[in-house]
Structure 1
Amino acid sequence: MNSRTVPCIRIDYSNLYPCGTLINKQIYTDINEADVNQFYLRFEENDEQKSIFRKWTDELLQTNDKDIINNIFEEYRRLWRSRKYGSRFFDLHGREFQNFAINLTNHMEQSEWRQLSMSKSHADRRILRSRVYAIGSRDDIEWNGKFINDTVERKKKKLEMIQHLQSLELFDWFAPNYELHESNLFESDHDLEIRITRQGTQETIEELYQNMQNEPKLIAWVNFAASHNVCGSYSVDFGGSQEEEVATNCDGAVLLGTLGYFVETGLKSWVRGRWVSYKTGMHIPPGGHYWAMTKFVTGPSHVDCGMIATAFADFRPYIPIFYPYTERKYFYTLIGNVKNEEELEKRCMIDIEGVLKTCLAKQVHTLVTGASGCGAFRHNPYVEAKLWKKCLEKKEYRCGSLKQVIFAVLDSETSDNWIAFRNEFSTLQNIENKM
């Protein structure tokens, strides 16, 4: 492989990246049923936290009165905003807070869960995310959020959790000095159906799932993750991108959390709160990503689908502590001009092609993705759309299982993201405006 296609950041921070001789690595193999719960991140709450959360839980278990339930919810929000407690008091990895969140949301309709997920209030999001984290990481809670008392049903849930853990693989398609042999992956070439829709990733997947009931196909979605922080900002009061919101409506964030550890000290933690970083060696490499089977649990259907958690190149300006690993300096001048268009395109394409290679390796039928890197990571959407088209026109990605690619671009009709992808693919597919 030409070394010029390998971005400098892999070399500069090689101690952080899992570069090996295999194209993929299964993280968990043999898992004992008795030990399954030990893999997930847990936060040990103090006595005051346990007391408050248990009090709210007991009150919720004794009532169906909407006014009482709303009063408990408002009390939680008040403590969240208070100087004495604040948001860090409510950690979604804590068992008693999870119990409170489960019992509170069990009094709600499914449509209300989606409102919490998309709320601008981090207090509301924390409730929904705690519910999902509890469902994804505990064998005493069913996928629908109901507590399990039956031994047989509990074992069934535990086996599904084990299957999801064992499905977690790290793909590193562009490891230095690795010779990629792809000939056995491909069949005769075929056309790809490419569509663009103005709706969210999860809604797109749920719609596909309903339409495939008679003939199920494997759907995979792209979780635009951070290469160093687990699932971006799922556990702190910061951010809230479309992809972070999607990843916390299934057990995707839960599974990635098993690869990380809590960071509670330093300036970044002081500003953002307790966050989760990948363990050394578990960071996402350029062109690589994590694959896992996940289940969406906040929509009308519990959809099983593949997650591709990938970190597209980060072109944000360098800020010590907060954005120390940005690749911007390698490809842009100080005033924002591209240094070398060809090198920039090569860097962006290894992320796109890595996703497509995994789709073929895992026999994915339909890929759902957004405007990759065109949000926080500062990619130019017109360049990004052009590169997706260039990659999707390559024969090697039209010769396997992949039959359909859908760009779920949840932006306004006047946004550059929507215009760029619409213009690039308008002659190839039907455009769906669902907003």
Structure 2
Amino acid sequence: MISSTVPRIRVDCTDLFPCGTMIAKQIHRDISEEDDLNQVYLRFQETDDQKRIFSEWNNCLRKTDAKEEISAVFDQFKKLWHTRKYGSRFFDIHGREFQNFAVNLTNHMEQSEWRKLSRSNSHADRRVLRSRVYAIGSRDDIGWDGKFIQNADDRKKKKLEMIEHLHSLQLFDWFAPRGEHVSELSEYHHDIDIDIKIIRQGTQETVQALWQSMGNEPKLIAWVNFAASHNVCGSYSVDYGGSQGEEVATNCDGAVLLGTMGQFVDTGLKSWIRGRWVYYKMGMHIPPGGNYWSMTKFVTGPFHVDCSMIATAFADFRPYIPVFCPYSERNYFYSLIGINSVKNQEELERRCMLDIEGVLKTCLAKQVHTLVTGASGCGAFRHNPYVEAKLWRICLEKQEYRCGSLRKVVFAILDNESSNNWIAFSDEFGPSVNNFN
């Protein structure tokens, strides 16, 4: 029998997860205004060839506003992207000169074009937008609006805001094997009705709509980033994937902040096939039932939104595949006979609830007013959406989560209305809403 507070994956992979001596670990508490922030964020050292090509493009983009010339530079980038000599790995979002190119190029675009780049099926398009956001989130010489900053006072202001976000980054480890189970976090002791809604809309757009509907009310909105427990933001920096979670985390500085806990991996079969990965450092992986918390700012929408991210790695039930999917928990809960043959439904649900309750515990600890999430684990990680929706209902009805700051939970599910994800969550929490006014 698997313990309700010690998932088997933690017993088998003890070196990957936090030690569990503290509920929350603040990562960057000692960073000050005098520190060089370039030492904090992930940086890729570009070659002379990369610097030369990107500098040529940057010089051209700085001198022109002509759409034909801008399009010609963009076409040159896409042409090199598809060549054997250069290829996609030549364009790393952590490289300073490529960041300058991405910022200069996108500064010639409208906001609506940024969103198209982010959702494009082209990895080249997404790489440009993600490089822009990474530059904005990790450099004090670029403002939140993507404009290069020349004034010293303005750079200082941007740096202080970046430090504030870095200071906010915490790793929560709610269910570590330390002989205690934290349940009472709230200073409130009365049962509160939580307004639960479901909407067919992306996470970022939902956060933006909620932020607008609240007006000047100082309400804290947090959104759930469906993260991978071992790779920072899944595959945000390589030619693979493109999930809703990755798309959201790379439209704010969420991926940038999580990257401060990562390291490059560019050797081995996985990197040879998919490219340079960003892997959590040992002991910084997201534990079962735990999550990363940080303040974030969406910078690709029609207006900037200050909100918070809860990066949670929901249980991975994909089939075990050496190198590519080595940390699957599927064999703990599913038999080899039948595609969805569950060994013990009660234990499976208990494991899934750890992650859901971890999110809710962090909401209480950080005084979150509104939580935006989606069909957690029901994409690549192969959770049963009908079970997942039921478990969210069970957890949200627990008294310990209804006596704190949380007032609203919105399930933003972008899937079409015939999908199992939409049907399961709308059946459990419907009817759906079109707006929050």
TM-score (norm 1): 0.97
Structure 2: 5+ residue runs without aligned partners?
Answer: none
Aligned AA (1:240): G
Distance 1:46 1:183 in 2: 53
Choose the corresponding residue for 1:206, options 192, 208, 215: 208
Alpha-carbon shift at residue 181 of structure 1 (Å): 4.4
Would the aligned equivalents of 1:16 and 1:280 in 2 still touch at CA under 8 Å? yes
Question: 1:280 — aligned with what?
Answer: 282
Would the aligned equivalents of 1:360 and 1:401 in 2 still touch at CA under 8 Å? yes
Question: 1:373 — aligned with what?
Answer: 377
Question: 2:95 — aligned with what?
Answer: 94
Would the aligned equivalents of 1:261 and 1:276 in 2 still touch at CA under 8 Å? yes
Would the aligned equivalents of 1:5 and 1:346 in 2 still touch at CA under 8 Å? no
Distance 1:178 1:102 in 2: 50
Structure-to-structure mapping, 1:97-246, within 5 angstroms? 97-187=98-188, 188-246=190-248
Aligned AA (2:115): R
Distance 1:88 1:184 in 2: 46
Distance 2:181 2:298 in 1: 33
Distance 1:349 1:306 in 2: 22
Would the aligned equivalents of 2:196 and 2:429 in 1 still touch at CA under 8 Å? yes
Identical-residue share of aligned pairs (%): 72
SS at match of 1:301: coil
* Alignment size in residue pairs: 430
Alpha-carbon shift at residue 433 of structure 1 (Å): 5.1
Choose the corresponding residue for 2:344, options 340, 345, 366: 340
| 1:15 matches 2:15 | yes
Structure-to-structure mapping, 1:357-396, within 5 angstroms? 357-396=361-400
**Closer, same or farther: CA 40–224 of 1 in aligned 2, 3 Å:** same
Aligned AA (1:297): V
Distance 1:134 1:377 in 2: 30
**Closer, same or farther: CA 403–95 of 1 in aligned 2, 3 Å:** same
Which consecutive aligned stretches of 4+ in structure 1 deviate over 4 angstroms post-superposition? Answer: none
Distance 2:183 2:267 in 1: 45
SS at match of 2:37: helix
After TM superposition, the structure 1 stretch with the greater mean CA deviation from structure 2, 85-94 or 16-25, is 16-25
Would the aligned equivalents of 2:5 and 2:177 in 1 still touch at CA under 8 Å? no
Question: 2:422 — aligned with what?
Answer: 418
Distance 2:253 2:5 in 1: 34
SS at match of 2:36: helix
Distance 2:175 2:387 in 1: 22
Would the aligned equivalents of 2:369 and 2:405 in 1 still touch at CA under 8 Å? yes
Alpha-carbon shift at residue 236 of structure 1 (Å): 0.1
Would the aligned equivalents of 1:209 and 1:216 in 2 still touch at CA under 8 Å? no
Q: Deviations over 1:263-312 (max 9, x none)?
A: 00000001100010000110000000100000000001111111000100
Alpha-carbon shift at residue 98 of structure 1 (Å): 0.3
**Closer, same or farther: CA 185–320 of 1 in aligned 2, 3 Å:** same
Distance 2:153 2:174 in 1: 41
Distance 2:183 2:268 in 1: 45
Would the aligned equivalents of 2:20 and 2:178 in 1 still touch at CA under 8 Å? no
| 1:64 matches 2:68 | no
Distance 1:50 1:14 in 2: 41
